[in-house]
Chains A and B, each alone.
Chain A
């Protein structure tokens, strides 16, 4: 089946550091990729939607200059958390979808980001 690979799985870094998370679709072309964030004991919350070759669309309340998204190819999207602070600590999950019909959205295994 379709596989989405997310890297790294865990990051621990100091406050002020910028962190890049990669999301790859391994066996299909992802015309659209999504980035979610999940705080403890809460459900996934959509941060942004990115389409290959165009600017990402951010959900209300998500700072686009804080969370930089690049979707340069049909198999790779990156999320960069710039100048991360402790309140940015969370579980970040990417997802990818093809344009074909009712094919489901597939998810990466998430990145646990801890800012000290």
Chain B
């Protein structure tokens, strides 16, 4: 699986958009970008994933650059409950292997 790089921490004001970047310059053609988050003392929660097109669901939007070497997870209106560690993970879609978690980005949403 391709390696990802994320900033260790970010702050965001409540109600504003949170834009979390991820670099994955060695991504392969068959690898998807997955985003998960982990709220303190809970299991990781799936947010969104994509291959090359931008994706949107009820939780977030995923913007993938045209060369696929980086992506941005957007939480359009951050709330205090969005405070969590956010993980960007790259993996082939048909992989039977487990997701490997790096250190992620610790997002703090402030009032």
Contact = CB atoms under 8 A, between A and B. Distances in A.
B21 interface: no
* Interface of B: prevailing SS: loop
Contacts of B36: 107
Interface stretch (A43-51, A63-71, A80-88): A43-51
A43 B43 contact: no
How many chain B residues sit at the interface, stated as a range, is 20 to 34
A49 B98 contact: yes
B102 A34 contact: no
Interface string A72-116: 000000000000000000010101010001101111111010000
A95 B45 CA distance: 11
Contacts of B45: 107
B46 A104 contact: yes
A40 to B, nearest CB: 10
Interface stretch (B10-18, B72-80, B89-97): B89-97
A14 to B, nearest CB: 23
6 contacts: A46-B98, A49-B96, A102-B93, A102-B94, A107-B44, A109-B43
Interface of B: 32, 34, 36, 38, 41-46, 49, 51, 87, 93-94, 96-104
Interface of A: 1, 4, 6, 32, 34, 36, 43-46, 49, 91, 93, 95, 97, 101-102, 104-110, 112
